[in-house]
Amino acid sequence: MRKKRRVWRHSAAFRLALAFAGMAMLTMVITLSVFYIRTVVLLEQRTLRQIASTTQQLEARFDQGGRAALVQAIEESLGDGQDSDRELLVLLDAEGRRIAGSTRFADPPASGSDIEEQTLLRSGHPSPGYLTTRKLPDGSRLVVGHDRSEQLQMAELVGDAIKAATFLALLLVVGGTYLFRDLLEQRIGALRKTAAQVAAGQLAERVQPSERDDEFALLEHDINRMLDRIEGLMQGVRHVSDTIAHNLRTPLTRALARLHEAQRAGSDAAALRAASAATIRELEQLNTVFHKLLQIAEAEAGAQRQQFTPQSLQAIAADVVELYAAVAEDQGCTLRLLGDDPAQVLGDRDLLASAIANLVDNALKYSAQTPDARVEVAVRARDDSVEITVCDNGPGVPAAALARLGQRFFRLDERLPGTGLGLASVGAIAQLHGASLTFEDAAPGLRARLKLPAG
């Protein structure tokens, strides 16, 4: 029990629900208090206005017809059956003797005074009321009053109703607080359960999507997307770790074997030079692999995003085509740049040039053995994007392997030179620039499509 109390006391959901309930109760109490005060004041003001109005009317009757007219008006008012038992009208002479009306008070207030509270007699019982006295020109005094008992009863009735409503509302608010806390705890509990499972290594666990379209549903969607991304990165790390271990072990083993062979007795200078040259090539290849991996890591981390400036994709593509023109000519391949679109994108020039160069290098490499080999680079502006395509007429890529293009260390033909990181580098650069990279069957050949947001 004590542990449960501590949990509730330290629960943010409970504190939030309690704060909401407290604000609701405070608002309701203030509203009902204002209503009660306004009701009491309204009833009191109505009684005071009635006394003032009756007094003015009777004084007007005296001014018009004298004492006789006033006596007649008092008798008519008391005999009309309207509020007769609550209304007090008395006309006294100068010595305080009653001339008309009924004396139901102890001592009348002084003549000319404001309306005052005084105890009246109603059915022989004391009752709270208001009285006022006016001295008339002939020396007589007019006393006008009104019983307040029904007014006070109405105020008491309203007060009791407000107390009952407050108590009922308190019960509902307390119940709603606990219900709100439980509902909030259920939604948060599902998130915490998934987080604990992921922390325990179950990366495939996801938050069960809610059918409600609310803020928690959006949070659940964002958390699931984050978990998808984390799982993908972890799978990528495992794959890269395994592949790096494999790709490093093979060239290092070859280099060590050559060096051990060269160390054997009887090795001449030529053998040592050959072993050294082969080892240097292996180490240069490893250096290329590490450089590519570093470039991919920097691109995926967004380390160069702050260096983005408006760039002409057409101009960058033209420089790359010019750089590879000699290589294409040596291979007997036709390399062309199509289009002349001045559209710009926001990005890093060196990274964009590296991405286009990797695509061109890949196209030249796989179309080298094709008669009348052709590689075409095209830049086109769309509505809100700029697209560059690199298309070759080589043997193409089997449909089953298209989805794997761009994976780290994936190589379609192990016999051809390369690290298997070129297209992975292009994918990382595309992700850094908010672009999309897709591969299509060009029938024959392969078409790589890099689509960047227009800058």
Residue 212 lies in a domain: no
Give yes or no: residues 110 and 169 share one domain.
Answer: yes
- CA–centroid distance for 137 within its chain: 79
Residue 39 lies in a domain: yes
Residue 131 lies in a domain: yes
User: Checking DSSP bridges between strand 436-441 and strand 374-381, what pairing results, if any?
Assistant: unpaired
Give yes or no: residues 62 and 157 share one domain.
Answer: yes
Name the domain boundary from 205, 233, 258.
205
Q: Please list the ranges in the chain whose pLDDT falls under 70.
A: 1-14, 17, 81, 83-85, 103-113, 121-125, 236-237, 239-250, 265-267, 289, 291-306, 406-420, 455
User: Checking DSSP bridges between strand 374-381 and strand 334-338, what pairing results, if any?
Assistant: parallel
Question: N- to C-terminal Cα distance for the chain?
Answer: 62
Q: Residue 44: how many CB atoms within 10 A of its CB?
A: 15
Instruction: Please tell me the distance from the alpha carbon of residue 165 to that of residue 172, in angstroms, as a whole number.
Output: 10
Question: For residues 439 and 405, is the Cβ–Cβ distance under 8 A?
Answer: yes
Give yes or no: residues 243 and 341 share one domain.
Answer: no
Instruction: Please tell me the distance from the alpha carbon of residue 141 to that of residue 51, in angstroms, as a whole number.
Output: 15
Residue 38 belongs to a domain with what CATH number? 3.30.450
Question: For residues 17 and 150, is the Cβ–Cβ distance under 8 A?
Answer: no
Q: Which residues of 58-73 are buried (b: 16+ CB within 10 A; e: fewer)?
A: bbebbeeeebeebbeb
Query: Please, is 110 exposed, middle or buried when counting C-beta atoms within 10 Å of its C-beta (0-12, 13-18, 19+)?
Result: exposed
Number of domain units in the chain: 3
Residue 211 lies in a domain: no
Give yes or no: residues 311 and 189 share one domain.
Answer: no
Give yes or no: residues 312 and 248 share one domain.
Answer: no
Residue 407 lies in a domain: yes
Give yes or no: residues 285 and 141 share one domain.
Answer: no
Longest Cα–Cα distance in the chain: 157
Question: For residues 76 and 100, is the Cβ–Cβ distance under 8 A?
Answer: no
Give yes or no: residues 333 and 277 share one domain.
Answer: no
Give yes or no: residues 3 and 136 share one domain.
Answer: yes
Sign of the four-CA dihedral 206, 212, 217, 221: positive
Give yes or no: residues 192 and 142 share one domain.
Answer: yes
Instruction: Please tell me the distance from the alpha carbon of residue 348 to that of residue 354, in angstroms, as a whole number.
Output: 10
Name the domain boundary from 262, 278, 301.
301
Give yes or no: residues 45 and 168 share one domain.
Answer: yes
Residues 126-182: tens digit of each pLDDT: 778 788 888 888 888 888 888 777 777 888 888 888 888 888 877 887 787 778 777
Name the domain boundary from 263, 282, 301.
301
Phi then psi for residue 261, to 5 deg, are -65, -40
Counted residue by residue, the chain has a size of 455
**Segments forming the whole domain that contains residue 262:** 217-301
pLDDT for residue 376? 92
Task: Name 164's Cβ contacts closer than 8 Å, sequence gap at least 6.
Answer: none
Give yes or no: residues 180 and 269 share one domain.
Answer: no
Residues 366-422: tens digit of each pLDDT: 887 888 889 999 999 887 889 999 999 888 887 777 777 766 666 666 666 666 677
Sign of the four-CA dihedral 6, 8, 13, 14: negative
pLDDT for residue 390? 92
Give yes or no: residues 263 and 318 share one domain.
Answer: no
- The DSSP code sequence of 256-304 is HHHHHHHHSTT--HHHHHHHHHHHHHHHHHHHHHHHHHHHHHHHHHTTT
Residue 442 belongs to a domain with what CATH number? 3.30.565.10
